[in-house]
């Protein structure tokens, strides 16, 4: 075994994870590649010409060929049952309860790291590595995630839920690089087939990017159950009908089919009554949210119970200054004095101190009045 240790690298067949694996090999690690099959296209449906991502035969073959060419082992493991039982079921459950899920964070938190480490232990690996654009370091006995160098590719938001025991054995080789540098390194390493592969932004088990179709396929009789719901305005007046509450998200403007003479947005979803409230842009602004199922990584607990942070409420979010307050062992409250648009139940709020991730949680309450919190 290499003096640097043995590392199990998650390989999707894309440029980032491929460069991560070869980079670690070049740095002197004993590398083993692994590709995890998380979904089966025949089970999730959609159009075959949209089959993309880490679970296609082409992607798995690309990962395997890179391992062969660079002299390290590669395995393909089937985690469809592990993945489906948690991530896909939670995805459907969130939409059916009027929330908007973030399955990539769920996967990282509950599936990917645990699955990788189980296989790492079986293969005698000291570490695991991924192609995420983020950094991790040990500080004061804690493992701290921080932003990747490339602000356009930073993926620290999606990693807030990874546990300390998992971070202790995690390497992020790409954290100090920009995406353009990674593509250049791919060429330098001879990874010509993946060097120019486009990034995949679809949810891996919804490769056609049509979550409505996916829900209809997964939930028997869904269309009949939810059709004919009402759109109401901020005063409760009925202004139209919709196709069913699971097919809409907070902040949505397109596809409402409402001719009201002004732009309107989804401001509230009530799954119990199948009523969707619409309003103008200012009606989306909220100042406070509460989150549960929290993970506080940098400190373990919020220092002094309350601190100033920069908070992100979705993946592509620059973040806004706010106040983080710990309400209990498993709940936080984040206040944004200047307000945020479309804070959405089911998404994560992630709190930063500078570039460091303090922690985060799943949003479950959002205020629509500064003194009233509504639960979703």
* CA distances from residue 213 to 44, 56, 288, 356 in whole angstroms, order as listed: 10, 20, 33, 38
Residue-level pLDDT at 50: 47
| Domain span(s) for CATH 2.30.30.280 in the chain | 225-279
Which residues of the chain does CATH 3.40.50.620 include? 6-195
pLDDT of residue 2: 64
Q: pLDDT tens digits for 21-40?
A: 999 999 999 999 999 887 76
Q: What integer pLDDT is reported at residue 368 of this predicted model?
A: 54
pLDDT on residue 1:
56
CATH 2.40.30.10 domain residues, the chain: 283-375
What pLDDT does 371 receive?
45
How do residues 301-327 score in pLDDT, each as one tens digit? 999 999 999 999 998 899 999 999 999
CATH class in words for 283-375: mainly beta
Would you name the residues annotated as active-site residues? Answer: 107, 204
pLDDT, residue 48, reads: 46
Q: Given the DSSP bridges, would you call strands 127-129 and 6-10 parallel, antiparallel or unpaired?
A: parallel
The pLDDT of residue 204: 77
pLDDT recorded at residue 308: 98
- What pLDDT, on the 0 to 100 scale, is given for residue 197? 83
Give the pLDDT score at 201.
62
Question: Model pTM?
Answer: 0.91
d(CA 312, CA 266): 20
pLDDT at 270: 96
CATH T-level topology, domain 6-195: Rossmann fold (3.40.50)
Domain 225-279 classification at class level: mainly beta
Cα pseudo-dihedral 267, 270, 271, 275, rounded to 10 = -90
Q: Closest by alpha carbon to 264, among 251, 279, 242, 247?
A: 279
For residue 268, the cross-strand partners are 277
**What is the residue-wise DSSP string for 78-120?**
E-HHHHIIIIIHHHHHHHHTT----HHHHHIIIIIHHHHHHHH
* Regions in the chain scoring below 70 on pLDDT: 1-2, 40-55, 201-202, 368-376
Residues 47, 212, 266, 240, Cα dihedral to 10°: 110
């Amino acid at each position: 075994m290499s003096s640097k240790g043995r590392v199990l690298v998650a390989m999707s067949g894309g440029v980032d994870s491929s460069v991560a694996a070869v980079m670690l090999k070049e740095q002197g690690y004993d590398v083993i590649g692994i590709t995890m099959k998380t979904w089966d296209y025949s089970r999730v449906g959609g159009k075959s010409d949209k089959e993309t991502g880490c679970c296609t035969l082409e992607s798995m073959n690309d990962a395997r060929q890179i391992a062969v060419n660079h002299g390290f082992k590669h395995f393909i493991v089937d985690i469809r049952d592990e993945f489906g039982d948690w991530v896909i079921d939670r995805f459907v459950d969130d939409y059916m309860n009027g929330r908007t899920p973030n399955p990539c964070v769920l996967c990282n938190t509950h599936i990917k790291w645990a699955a990788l480490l189980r296989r790492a232990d079986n293969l005698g690996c000291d570490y695991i590595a991924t192609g995420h654009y983020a950094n991790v370091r040990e500080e004061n006995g804690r493992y701290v995630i921080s932003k990747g160098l490339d602000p356009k590719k930073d993926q620290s938001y999606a990693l807030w839920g990874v546990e300390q025991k998992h971070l202790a054995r995690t390497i992020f080789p790409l954290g100090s690089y920009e995406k353009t540098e990674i593509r250049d390194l791919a060429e330098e390493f001879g990874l010509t087939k993946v060097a120019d592969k486009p990034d995949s932004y679809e949810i891996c088990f919804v490769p056609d990017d049509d979550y409505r179709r996916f829900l209809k396929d997964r939930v028997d009789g869904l269309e009949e159950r939810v059709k004919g719901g009402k759109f109401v305005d901020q005063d409760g007046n009925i202004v139209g009908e919709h196709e069913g509450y699971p097919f809409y998200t907070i902040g949505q403007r397109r596809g409402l089919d409402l001719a009201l003479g002004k732009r309107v947005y989804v401001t509230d979803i009530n799954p119990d009554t199948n009523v969707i409230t619409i309003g103008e842009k200012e009606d989306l602004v909220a100042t406070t949210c509460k989150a549960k199922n929290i993970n506080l990584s940098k400190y373990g607990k919020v220092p002094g119970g309350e601190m100033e942070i920069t908070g992100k409420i979705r993946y592509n979010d620059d973040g806004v200054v706010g106040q983080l307050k710990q309400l209990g062992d498993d709940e936080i409250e984040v206040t944004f004095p200047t307000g945020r648009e479309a804070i959405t139940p089911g998404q994560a709020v992630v709190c930063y101190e500078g570039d460091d991730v303090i922690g985060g949680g799943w949003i479950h309450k959002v205020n629509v009045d500064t003194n009233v919190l509504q639960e979703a």
